[in-house]
Amino acid sequence: MQALKASSSTVIQKLAGSIAINIRNEGIVTVTVVGASALNQALKGCIVARRFLKDDGNMDIVIQPSFVPIASGEVPTSTDGTAVTGIQLLIKRAPIEPLPEGVVPPAPMESHSPVDPTAR
């Protein structure tokens, strides 16, 4: 199983590509993050990877988050010297389930253009 790391400066497209490749090849991958900005980038990477996988091979993913202790050599300790806790996203391959009969699929994503709140 491949273990990836994400930071606040991680390029979303590259992370998404790495996630998608590992899901196609092994069916499982982890992404470890420390901090809210890094988690934000990692989740965006998962969203883009999910789209790659749906477009290419009728695959989906599930994400299981958990807290993990981070080794002291990997990131600096906090200002008070305590250990750092990170978040690990365990990402697994999942088949795309057909929608139950009568359920309407979600609308495709639309581009968001600025809305003028004064226009009616």
Q: Is the pLDDT assigned to residue 115 strictly greater than 70?
A: no
Span 13-23, pLDDT tens digits: 999 999 999 99
In a domain, 38, yes or no: yes
> Under a CB-based contact definition with an 8 Å cutoff, are residues 89 and 100 in contact?
no
Contact 7, 38 (CB under 8 A): yes
Residue 104 in any domain: the answer is: no
In a domain, 118, yes or no: no
20-57 pLDDT, tens digit each? 999 999 999 999 999 999 999 999 999 999 999 988 87
Q: What is the pLDDT of residues 59-99, one digit of tens each?
A: 999 999 999 998 766 555 556 667 899 999 999 999 877 77
Is there a domain that residue 116 lies in? no
Q: Convert the pLDDT of each residue in 97-114 to its tens digit.
A: 777 888 887 666 555 555
* Domain around 58: 2-95
The torsion angles phi and psi of 49, rounded to 5 degrees, stand at -60, -40
* Residue 16 within a domain: yes
Asked if residue 87 lies in contact with residue 32, where contact means CB atoms within 8 angstroms, the answer is: yes
Task: Assess if residue 105 is contained within a domain.
Answer: no
Distance (Å, whole) CA 20 – CA 27? 9
In 3D, which of 41, 60, 59, 53 has the Cα closest to residue 17?
A: 53
On whether residue 68 sits in a domain, the answer given is yes
Distance (Å, rounded) from C-alpha 36 to C-alpha 6?
11
Instruction: Please give the tally of structural domains in the chain.
Output: 1
Residue 26 lies in a domain: yes
- Please report, for the domain that includes residue 64, its CATH number: 3.30.110.20
